[in-house]
A = this chain, B = another copy of it.
Amino acid sequence: MRDVAVIGVGLTKFGELWDVSFRELMMEAGARAIENSGIDGKQIGAMYVGNMSSGQFIRQEHISSIVADHAGLVPIPSTRVEGACASGGLALRQAIIDVGSGLHDIVVAAGIEKMTDVLAGVATGALATAADQEWEVFVGATFPGLYALMARRHMYEFGTTEEQMAAVAVKNHRNACFNTCAQYQMEITVDDVMKSPPVTLPLKLLDCSPITDGAACAILASAEKARKLTDTPVLVAGTGQASDAISLHSRTSLTSLQATIEAARKAYKMAGVKPDDIDLAEVHDCFTIAEIMAIEDLEFCKKGEGGKVTEQGETAIGGRIPVNTSGGLKGKGHPVGATGIAQVVEIVQQLRGEAGKRQVDGAEIGLAHNVGGSGGTAVVHVLRRGD
């Protein structure tokens, strides 16, 4: 594969956007990314769109055609990619492989989910289709329930506390205050989390990421082309993807996601870096316990110490390894198909030094970690500032 770089990124406001349609959301993110890249739309060779479940959320499949048409990009190839909440990360990866193969020089990776146009119960039910319907959901498991099982086991094995989980939410909300695209630009305290209504204990309302509308877009080019188009290319140093059993009961561990470990191993190897080399990361904090497990599985800390290092501020902006500077899924919001691309938007802005009050000083190498379901899919990307 030839080298690939990100040349432009765009993000919409994340939130309950009842006055904006699916099409409008996607066009807004796309137009921002094209403007940000400085290219002309005519230069785009192909498009990949990450989306988990437009069929259930807005009763529309075949969105790849709608997006290409509304973006004025017909007749370029346009393909939807789905892997539950990892759909965005997978779309990015397909775009990287496309450019890497030499098939096209400039390719769009987009992600979108319009989730709030249905009743909350319908949205939660649709999200549960990321878990095993026959062996988990039909017998009563909810999606928060699956992560609650992981949290309980993590508490049992490693002594992780509910306060440590709350510290994840507190940090991510604090970061979100500096992100104008974030759904929740408000600080919360550990006490707020502890007193929030129970969802499935030990997870409480403020341990859970919200239901969100949003879209994100990144434009990729061959590294060679990128150097001609921009002074601030961000190189894709590594990509790793892995699968695991969709059901928790089929896994060897409840406190690690093997898919994360395997995807990270591949991405680190391809990039030629170690966990210590990463300056900042966006990780998949769909629930607070998920961030704790992620920073362990990505080897930013020892197994079992994710809660402790979070509580000690090591993952805060200014800490040893800032995590979810954007606000993460918890603070920024989690439009499931868009999340994997939105993570990369943040990493690119950080590596370019354009993250404003969220800026991590001297950031050179960033990592994005996107999970599908309760860990049936994981995808990890390592990005590097291209000088």
Interface residues of A (CB under 8 A from B): 1, 21, 46, 52-53, 55-56, 58-62, 64-66, 68-69, 73-84, 90, 93-94, 97-98, 100-103, 126, 129-134, 241-247, 250, 258-259, 262, 372-373, 376-377
Contact = CB atoms under 8 A, between A and B. Distances in A.
Given A65-B373, A377-B62, A377-B64, A242 B77 contact: yes
Contacts of A78: 83, 243, 377
Contacts of A58: 133
Q: A-B pairs with the 4 shortest C-beta distances? A: A65-B376, A101-B101, A77-B241, A62-B84
Contact of A246 (B62, B126, B130): B62
Contacts of A81: 79-82
Contacts of A244: 65, 69, 74-75
Contacts of A131: 62
A315 B294 CA distance: 57
A69 B243 contact: yes
A62 B262 CA distance: 19
Nearest to A98: B97
A259 B97 contact: no
B69 A246 contact: yes
Given A64-B376, A79-B81, A100-B101, 19 more contacts: A1-B102, A52-B61, A55-B56, A62-B129, A62-B246, A62-B372, A62-B377, A64-B82, A65-B83, A65-B243, A65-B373, A65-B377, A76-B243, A77-B93, A80-B81, A80-B83, A97-B98, A97-B101, A101-B101
Contacts of A243: 64-65, 68-69, 73-78
Contacts of A79: 81-83, 90, 93-94, 241
A241 B101 CA distance: 16
Contacts of A74: 243-245
Q: What is the oligomeric copy number?
A: 2
A59 B129 contact: yes
Contacts of A75: 242-244, 258-259, 262
Interface residue SS majority, chain A:
mixed
A82 B83 contact: no
Contacts of A21: 134
A83 B58 CA distance: 16
A376 B90 CA distance: 22
B103 A55 contact: no
A359 B69 CA distance: 40
A1 B377 contact: no
Contacts of A132: 60, 66
10 contacts: A59-B133, A61-B82, A61-B129, A62-B82, A65-B373, A74-B243, A77-B242, A79-B83, A94-B94, A100-B103
A103 B2 CA distance: 11
A358 B34 CA distance: 50
Chain B CB within 10 Å, residue with most, of A62, A75, A100: A62
A259 B64 CA distance: 13
A250 B81 CA distance: 25
Nearest to A247: B69
A147 B134 CA distance: 36
Nearest to A58: B133
Contacts of A245: 65, 69, 74
A350 B58 CA distance: 41
